[in-house]
Structure 1
Amino acid sequence: MTSFLKKSWPQGVPETLSYRLGEKALHEYLIQNAIDHPNKTAYNFYGNEISWEQLVAQTRRLAHFLQNKGITKGDKVALYMQNCPQYLLSHYAIQMLGGTVVPLNPMYKASELEYFINEAEIMAVIAGDELYDHIVAIKDKTHSLQFVMTTHYADFLSENVTLPLPEDLQGEKKATDDAYDVIDIVTATAPLEETASIDVWNDVGLMVFTSGTTGRPKAAMLTFGNALFKTAATAHGYQHQQEDRTLAAAPLCHIAGMVMGVNLPVYCANSCILLTRFEPLTAIQAIERYRVNKLYTVATMNAAILNEASADHDLSCLETNFATSFGMAVDEPLAEAWGKLTDGCLLFEASYGLSETHTCDTMMPMDKIKYGTCGIPTYQTDIRIVDPESGEDLPAGRQGEIAVKNPGVFKGYLNRPEATAATLRDGWVFTGDIGTLDDDGYLTFNGRVKEMIKASGYSVFPEDVEALMSDHEAIAQVAAIGVPDSKRGESVKAFVVLKQEYGETITADDIIAWSKEHMAAYKYPRDVVFVDQLPATSSGKVLRRLLKE
């Protein structure tokens, strides 16, 4: 550890990282939890208390079914559903076979789904039954997809419902022809006897879509070891214990939600309250009823709880709340208001990170919080600030591109060697983000070199929006940029060149309404401007920076 980090390292936190059960894939931790704590509640889903033993038994059954369907080491299986126990079963069942989990946001529509399935060469999809129609719509356009499994979220509720149910858990079960039903599988299939042999630091267990530096989303390949390292670093850095109770309300399909809701409870063997989605009153009731003491949120969640909570609510069980600044900042005024509501719970920025490093590259020393920063480099992590033009390292306080190196760094982008070479250099991920390091080692994030748009905490890629909008019959050309949005952080603005024959017959509102039907809610443009032509280079590359200006 460098000398400037030694003075900032939190008291009581070991300076070297050791893995609780050794260097093994997290599904092996899951199996050991069932041996060591068979009857302890692993996840509580609106009152359905699922023990470690039950969770492992159902995961083994699902894994055996996947094995019987031909899934083997290296095969890619997509998860396309809301938060639910079925998500957890699916994630670890795939990895028990040495397969690769590909999370897909349940907000994706059919045309988006088609791209992701083909790009990642996905062999099977496990989906919420309400999303099945999107898969049917593109099934004939996918070259790799062999079979589909669906699930009804309410199948994993018990009779003892203890929290308000969202709409996703109140609807009727939907018929899904030609798809296998998860509840039938985990009821009727014999359990998998032996898990696959895993090379922890080389075998790919997860692929998440990210922009890299340019272009449409790419599949970043992350190893079993990447996940283990970042989970362990977070657990030990924030002193997670087996006795803790956590709440998972952030989307599990998002890399940060995955670390906090899928990986951490398994690594620590702690009990987790699982919600399908974040709803302020439900989150408040879950925290109160189950005495949650450690919490991960996005800052807007804290604001929503502050607005909803009354004097009758008791959130004094909360001890630490690490949060992410999406949509609004995790700043001192928010932390003070949160501390007052909870009788002293610490609220602070969780970390800086990105998909290519399995996120959580920094941690905030809980005894030396610096608001406005992302904390200090976590275990075994080097961070440099580099001059984007010269490539030279910059001193403390100077602004430049953030470069990161640690055991969480990805293997590269699937089938994209040029994009990999641009981002991954000698083990360093050049993030395309701008930041500074101070004399105490705290990282401040200042903005993005990349043209990626961050809307409601989700990554939106201009090329992706443009490709999807180009399917509209009236659009000749389109360019997308991000613009400030007080609620979402950023939202999409599209500049559209109409085909000549549509110039008098279509409005900006028409384009927005069409986009809303064909794109995820966070992704479709909130503003459309018609232009005669787009600014471009001589080679035809659109100059989005001029549109921003």
Structure 2
Amino acid sequence: MEKAWYKVWPKDVPRHFIFEDKVLENYVEEHARTNPDDTAVYFYGKIITYGELADMYLQLAAQLHARGVGKGDTVALYMENSPQFIIAFLAVQRLGAIAVPMNPMFKRAELSHLLGDAGPKAIFIQENLLAHLCPILPEFPGLRIISTALTDFAPDHPEFPMSFAPMERTISRLPGEERILELIHYDDPIPPANACLDDTAVLQYTSGTTGMPKGAELTHRNIVANAFSFRDGVRTKPRDRHLSAMPLFHVIGLVNCMGSPLCNGGAIMLFHRFVPDVILEAIHKLQIQHWVSTATMNIAVINHPNAANYDLSSLSGCLSGGAPVPRPIFERFYEVTRTRLLEGYGLSETTAQITMNFFENARVGSAGIPLMDADVRVVAIDDPHVEVPPGQQGELAFKGPMVMKGYWKNPEATAAAFVDGWFLSGDLGHVDEDGYVHISGRKKELIKSSGFSVFPNEVESIMHKHTAIKEVCVVGVAHDYRGEEVKAYVVLKEEAVGNVTEQDIVEWAKEHMAVYKYPRKVEFLNELPKTGSGKLLRRALYERANQIQKT
């Protein structure tokens, strides 16, 4: 039976993907042969061509191979955005080994858990992060340490302000520690390509907001499928410039900001982190065409006092992920940038996006339609074997070439995540009659107030219409009579601070939504807690709210 979304599918986008026998690294090496002088990576003015990139990562692969790293071994990448992250990732791919990107904000306990779970043979590490690794090194005898400084590939005269210049190492060189810059200047025989499409390529650890992080096993097929889905979905071309300010350790940055440009011969315009002034100026000066962002970044841009001073017309579109985007943000984003914001949806387990809005027939307020060869169904919240009809709320479940093979060394979690061959996302929502996916929130975040279901994203979307609100997060708080009631954490716009009270927000919300739905408690914060990738830590606010309630 033809899928509902095929009637709105863009005519020039293929519905199915024909896989070549190539992984990401093969595409990069091919570009290095055919267009060696094209820009592969731009870093604050430093340009690395495809020819130079291939020379470096192939030499690094040779050195890893000489040190015993081979097919199926794991290698940790404990670094922030930098050219050396990309070089190390491609070297690991060349050997058929498994890359383990690690959040550089992790400290000792989190680092110990991930290293213990993944069991890497080597770790690429930023020098200023060595202090977190050093105390736990005795737990991991034989772990090879390959270090780098963020300034190793920085230009002498940066075109934009760099936020990492003062970041220095705080400990002396460790026994056996080697440096990336030393290893890429050898001239040893290059090991043959040793990865197949269905081999595990990446252990992408979940954010751990509901427990210790689990490693989603992403295959080379998963990565290639989504890299080309992004290419076709947003119409990228070889030599296009892709803004890369999302963290590369996160699946969105890894696939959309790094993997897709490299597969297609594009240029990665790489920045250490998202700094609104720098990013706006970069789009203006470098004439960047593609930007993958989060709702947090979108809000920062539309509230930037000098946004109108920048020419952002080079942008052909902006794909936003990580959290649903309220309608007022869409409208304001277009006013400021004259660029359409396209919303997509995905998880670590789906190798970034599995649904997205295309330029044609985009439906504001939805997460779009399933990508090529992907499928979606909505199952009953209390019985995942039962599919519910279009328009009815339930848990979203997916199939497709971008869905992970399972959780690393965790068969119990893998079995719980799949029912009848469908991956259970843990997200609530519905699919409308045209096949567009609508997200309501996490299954565990559903608020039950006076017997009614309250979806945090719906309440937040309404509250964003208040002219004083910059950001908002809604959680459920235990209540003796209602079961739960709604509480909103609000970040005010600068001009509203001191002029709008928490009770003002409560009264406004009471006028704009149903009695069981409006937040009866509001608390102002200077900022909302987020992960390193900009994802809202709703669980932290839930725990805060309920602890305050108990007190």
- TM surpasses 0.5: yes
Q: Could you tell me which of 28, 34, 37 is aligned with 1:39? A: 37
1:193-204 pair list within 5 angstroms: 193-201=190-198, 203-204=199-200
Query: Paired residue for 1:359?
Result: 352
Amino acid at match of 1:427: G
Query: Paired residue for 2:516?
Result: none
TM-superposed CA distance for 1:264, in Å, is 1.0
TM-superposed CA distance for 1:138, in Å, is 0.8
Amino acid at match of 1:334: I
TM-superposed CA distance for 1:5, in Å, is 1.4
Provide, for residues 147-200 of structure 1, a one-character-per-residue CA deviation record: whole Å limited to 9, x for no partner. 11111011101224111111x23444664323211112113x225523333221
More displaced stretch, 29-38 vs 330-339: 330-339
- Measure the CA separation in 1 of the matches of 2:183 and 2:91: 12
Distance change >3 Å, CA 451–CA 196, structure 1 → 2: farther
TM-superposed CA distance for 1:485, in Å, is 4.0
Query: Paired residue for 1:83?
Result: 81
Amino acid at match of 1:185: L
- Measure the CA separation in 1 of the matches of 2:6 and 2:393: 23
Q: Could you tell me which of 260, 263, 278 is aligned with 2:256? A: 260
Distance change >3 Å, CA 442–CA 212, structure 1 → 2: farther
Query: Paired residue for 1:142?
Result: 140
Amino acid at match of 2:8: S
Q: Could you tell me which of 430, 439, 447 is aligned with 2:441? A: 447
Query: Paired residue for 2:424?
Result: 430
1:288–1:314 CA contact under 8 A, matched in 2: yes
Distance change >3 Å, CA 101–CA 215, structure 1 → 2: same
Distance change >3 Å, CA 437–CA 192, structure 1 → 2: farther
Query: Paired residue for 1:380?
Result: 373
- Measure the CA separation in 1 of the matches of 2:295 and 2:14: 28
The SS at the match of 2:184 is helix
Amino acid at match of 1:100: I
1:72–1:99 CA contact under 8 A, matched in 2: yes
- Measure the CA separation in 1 of the matches of 2:345 and 2:165: 33
Query: Paired residue for 1:491?
Result: none
Query: Paired residue for 1:10?
Result: 10
The SS at the match of 2:311 is coil
- Is the aligned partner of 1:205 residue 2:201? yes
Distance change >3 Å, CA 241–CA 218, structure 1 → 2: same
TM-superposed CA distance for 1:276, in Å, is 0.5
1:182-197 pair list within 5 angstroms: 182-187=180-185, 189-197=186-194
- Is the aligned partner of 1:338 residue 2:333? yes
Amino acid at match of 2:340: L
* Residue segments in structure 2 that go unaligned for 5+ positions in a row: 447-455, 458-470, 472-485, 493-528
Q: Could you tell me which of 148, 153, 159 is aligned with 1:156? A: 153
Query: Paired residue for 1:55?
Result: 53
Distance change >3 Å, CA 487–CA 410, structure 1 → 2: farther
TM-superposed CA distance for 1:6, in Å, is 1.8
Q: TM-score scaled by structure 2?
A: 0.79
- Is the aligned partner of 1:412 residue 2:410? no
TM-superposed CA distance for 1:483, in Å, is 8.0
The alignment yields a C-alpha RMSD, in angstroms, of 3.1
Distance change >3 Å, CA 197–CA 177, structure 1 → 2: closer
Distance change >3 Å, CA 241–CA 159, structure 1 → 2: same
TM-superposed CA distance for 1:3, in Å, is 4.4
The SS at the match of 2:335 is helix
1:118-137 pair list within 5 angstroms: 118-137=116-135
* Residue segments in structure 1 that go unaligned for 5+ positions in a row: 458-481, 489-515, 535-546
TM-superposed CA distance for 1:60, in Å, is 0.8
TM-superposed CA distance for 1:114, in Å, is 0.4
Query: Paired residue for 2:390?
Result: 396
- Measure the CA separation in 1 of the matches of 2:33 and 2:491: 46
TM-superposed CA distance for 1:15, in Å, is 2.9
**Percent pairwise identity:** 32
- Measure the CA separation in 2 of the matches of 1:387 and 1:191: 57
Q: Could you tell me which of 225, 232, 239 is aligned with 1:236? A: 232
Query: Paired residue for 2:290?
Result: 294
Residue-pair matches, total:
470
1:17–1:236 CA contact under 8 A, matched in 2: no
Amino acid at match of 1:381: A
Q: TM-score scaled by structure 1?
A: 0.79
Distance change >3 Å, CA 147–CA 374, structure 1 → 2: same
TM-superposed CA distance for 1:25, in Å, is 0.7
- Measure the CA separation in 2 of the matches of 1:289 and 1:299: 24
- Measure the CA separation in 1 of the matches of 2:209 and 2:308: 47
Amino acid at match of 2:350: T
- Measure the CA separation in 2 of the matches of 1:281 and 1:4: 42
The SS at the match of 1:323 is strand
Provide, for residues 275-325 of structure 1, a one-character-per-residue CA deviation record: whole Å limited to 9, x for no partner. 000000110111111100111111221222233334432111111011125
Q: Could you tell me which of 302, 305, 323 is aligned with 1:306? A: 302
Amino acid at match of 1:436: H
